[in-house]
Every structure is written in structure tokens, then in C-alpha cells.
Amino acid sequence: MKRIHILLLLPMMIVACLNELSPAMPDEEETTLKKAVGHHFLIGTTLNNAIVNGRDPASDRVVKRHFNAITHGYAMKFAMLHPAEGRYLFDESDAFVRYGEQNGMTVIGHCLVWHKQLPDWVVRDKDGNLVTPEALKARMREHISTVVGRYRGRVKGWDVVNEAFLEDGSYRQSPYYEILGEEFIPLAFQYAHEADPDAELYYNDGNMAVTKRREAVVRLIGQLKARGLRIDAVGMQAHVSMNFPKVENFEKSIQAFADAGVKVMITEWDMTALPTTDTGSDGRPLTPEELDPYPEKMPDSASQAWNARMKQFFDLFVKYSDVVTRVTVWGVSDIDSWLNDFPFPGRTDYPLLFDREYQPKTFVREILGEE
Ligand code: G3I
């Protein structure tokens, strides 16, 4: 009798042991953004050093579960990578690229040419005068070829030039423009392509629903294409607010860039829930309470309005998913958003897909099928 019992138990014991040995199977039923929207476009977010280096496990969990594309908020900018002539600091950007590779994510490089965080040594001589066009071209080429070349085949695409146009469609009077004129943009695209012929190349800017800027970018696309230069997409940052821009004007820009023959990427999406000016519609200065109306939490009415408007933008991106190839939000949870201190420091904002408890906002739960 006893021998029969053991024989009956043996199969169950073997199964139990195998379960112990096999790695925990991913929860196939776990809802994730990248599964829910992956057939439309890449869904990305920005990382900071804390997430990359394992010092922010809560954000790290959200990134690995929900996102399949990453951009670093600052580590790949000129001042961070190349603070002095001949001196490169790659530790932070190397760690970022490794994070993406280790987690099977699409890595985006942001950004090669930008008027901000541009060290003086690049554009001014020891007397503080602007350097010659030849000197700047040599420094741009050296920076871009070194950085893009380092990550050749590892970074899928680069924000080659960021924020070169003003809202009236004119060129921003950056040192790049003052020294090289309009030529700095095609040169940047040329240098990037030379450094990694397979990398996608993007022009990136904010407030792209503004007619004159839209028209300037459409002209730029035509100029680059006419010179046989590679430009794959336009990055629309999409730092939007509760009352700007109109969704239909944002849509007009998507259509205009598509008609110009490029893809569109939503590269820095967030929506402030707070006032974007320090005066009211009557011109009266806003009080501190009006500037920071939700120090603890958003009231349901404001939260519902925020989710509804975010869903309008998301539905627009899905409508144009034949053109929109990536949607990146500019941060993981509300805690880490740059908007908590912009344009006024010390405010509590609610601009991202995940709240301060790292939980998906209402419209995100709808996308996940959890609502
Ligand atoms: O550099 C330190 C880093 O070493 C440290 O680990 C980290 C600790 O939190 O702080 C870093 O400091 C600053 C970082 O923000 C903190 O998040 C960086 O010095 C500072 O440059 C960085 O500011 C970034 C800003 O661009 C300027 O580069 C913001 O994160 C980033 O959200 C913002 O993003 C810009 C886009 O590039 C272009 N479009 C507008 C957007 C918002 O301004």
C-alpha cells in the first residue's frame, strides 16, 4: 500500500520541482501600455540618472512594464557630454544606452544642436567674441561625429536640431544662427548622417501647432530634402496645457508634416494642469493660491477635464498612427515632471500618465482596458 502512495505522488512532486526551477513566467495577463498601443506606435518616456542607476525602483518598474522607447531628459545634451574642448563625459549617456539595450527598448538621442546648454567654448573665443563659421563648423562636426559615432547602431534616432524657430516662423537668433545663418541646420543633419548612416534623423520643436512655426518647419523639410539630406521625422514636443493648443490646430500640423513627406513623433508629451501665465484673463496678477491651485491633489472636476483633454490628444495620435510612429511622454510620474518648477518654482503639477503613487491616470486605465 505504501509503495502505491509514493508512485501516485511522484508526478506531482516532479511538477512541483519544475515549477520551482522555471523562471517566473511573465504575467501574460498583465496590462501594459506597450501591448495596448504597440500596434499603433512606440510608446516612450524620459529617464533621469536615478532611474538609469537603480536609485528609483518605483519609476524603473513603470518604465519596464509600460514603455518600449526611452529618451534621456538631459544626459545627451551638449553641456553634459562635452563641457570643455577635448573633454567628453559619457558615463551617464553610456549607462542610459545600456539600460535601453538591456531592456529591449528603442533608444532615442536628445539632442545634438540646441541653443540651450551650449557651452560658451563652442561658440565664443577667449575674448568672448563669436568664433568664425569655419571654427564652429569644425566643432559641430567633431561633436556630432564623436557622439553619434559612439552610439552607431545603438541609438535608433536623433533629435538633430531642437527648437530652431520662433513662433513667428523666424530663425531663433542662437549663436549657431548668428555664426552660420540657416546653414547650421543642414550641416547638423549632414554630420549626423555621416556618423551613422542608418540612424533616423529628426527636427524637434515645441508649440508646433502655431501656424508660422509649422510653415517654417515645412519649408525646412523641403530644403533638406532638396539637398538630398536625410530627415525621417519631425518631433512635435507637445508640451500642452488645458487651453492651448486647439487639438484641431495640432492636427493641421501633423497633416502638414505628413504632406511634406516625413513621419511625425510626439517627443515630449505632457499637459500642465496649472495656469501658464502669472496674470488672469483680466490682466490681474494671479495670487500664489491661483498659481498653485492643487498643492495636495486635483479636485475630481479638474482631474476629469484633464483626462478628457489628454484622451483627445491620444485619440488624435491613434487617428494618425500611419504617420505618428512614436509617442513619448516627458517623464514617468507626476513626481518627476519638470513642470513642478516651471514656469514658477515649487508648484505641484499633474502633467503625466502616472500619478504620484505611480498609478495610471483615468484615461490611461481606459487605454489599458482597466476602466
Ligand atoms: O545634472 C544633474 C544630474 O547629474 C543629477 O543626477 C540629477 C539629479 O536629479 O540632476 C541633474 O540636474 C538637472 C536635471 O534637469 C534634473 O532633472 C540638469 O542639470 C538639468 O539640465 C536638467 O534640466 C533639463 C532641461 O531640459 C535642460 O536640459 C530637464 O530635466 C528637461 O526636462 C528639459 O527638457 C527640455 C527638452 O530638452 C527640450 N524641450 C523642453 C524641455 C523642458 O524644458
Question: What would the grid cell of residue 323 be?
Answer: 504617420
**Given this model, what pLDDT does residue 345 score?**
85
Cα separations in angstroms, 267 against 61, 73, 143, 162, 174: 21, 11, 23, 11, 22
User: Residue 171: CB within 6 Å of ligand 1?
Assistant: no
**Given this model, what pLDDT does residue 78 score?**
98
- Integer Cα distance of 299 and 309 in angstroms: 16
- Residue whose Cα lies nearest atom 12 of ligand 1: it is 74
> Annotated catalytic, 163?
yes
User: Residue 48: CB within 6 Å of ligand 1?
Assistant: yes
For the entire predicted model, the pTM comes to: 0.92
**Given this model, what pLDDT does residue 103 score?**
98
CB burial of 78-91 (b: ≥16 within 10 Å; e: otherwise) equals bebbbeeeeeeebe
**Given this model, what pLDDT does residue 21 score?**
43
**Given this model, what pLDDT does residue 8 score?**
52
Beta-bridge partners for 46 = 71
- Residues 308-339 have pLDDT tens digits of 999 999 999 999 999 999 999 999 999 999 99
CA of 77 to the centre of ligand 1 (A): 9
**Given this model, what pLDDT does residue 12 score?**
52
- Residue whose Cα lies nearest atom 3 of ligand 1: it is 49
Catalytic, out of 268, 289, 296, 370: 268
Q: Given the C-alpha cell 529617464, which residue does it identify?
A: 47
- Residues 134-148 have pLDDT tens digits of 999 999 999 999 999
**Which residues are CB-neighbours of 357 under 8 A, at least 6 positions away?**
none
Cα separations in angstroms, 301 against 199, 273, 289, 297, 333: 44, 12, 18, 12, 21
- Integer Cα distance of 347 and 340 in angstroms: 5
How many C-beta atoms surround the C-beta of residue 39 within 10 A? 8
- Delimit the domains of the chain by residue range: 30-275+287-367
Architecture in CATH of 30-275+287-367: Alpha-Beta Barrel (3.20)
**Given this model, what pLDDT does residue 54 score?**
98
CA of 267 to the centre of ligand 1 (A): 15
**Which residues are CB-neighbours of 270 under 8 A, at least 6 positions away?**
238, 239, 240, 329, 330, 331, 337, 339, 351, 352
pLDDT in tens, the chain (371 residues): 444 454 555 555 554 444 444 444 445 678 999 999 999 999 999 999 999 999 999 999 999 999 999 999 999 999 999 999 999 999 999 999 999 999 999 999 999 999 999 999 999 999 999 999 999 999 999 999 999 999 999 999 999 999 999 999 999 999 999 999 999 999 999 999 999 999 999 999 999 999 999 999 999 999 999 999 999 999 999 999 999 999 999 999 999 999 999 999 999 999 999 999 989 889 999 999 999 999 999 999 999 999 999 999 999 999 999 999 999 999 999 999 999 988 888 899 999 999 999 999 999 999 999 88
User: Residue 55: CB within 6 Å of ligand 1?
Assistant: no
> Annotated catalytic, 268?
yes
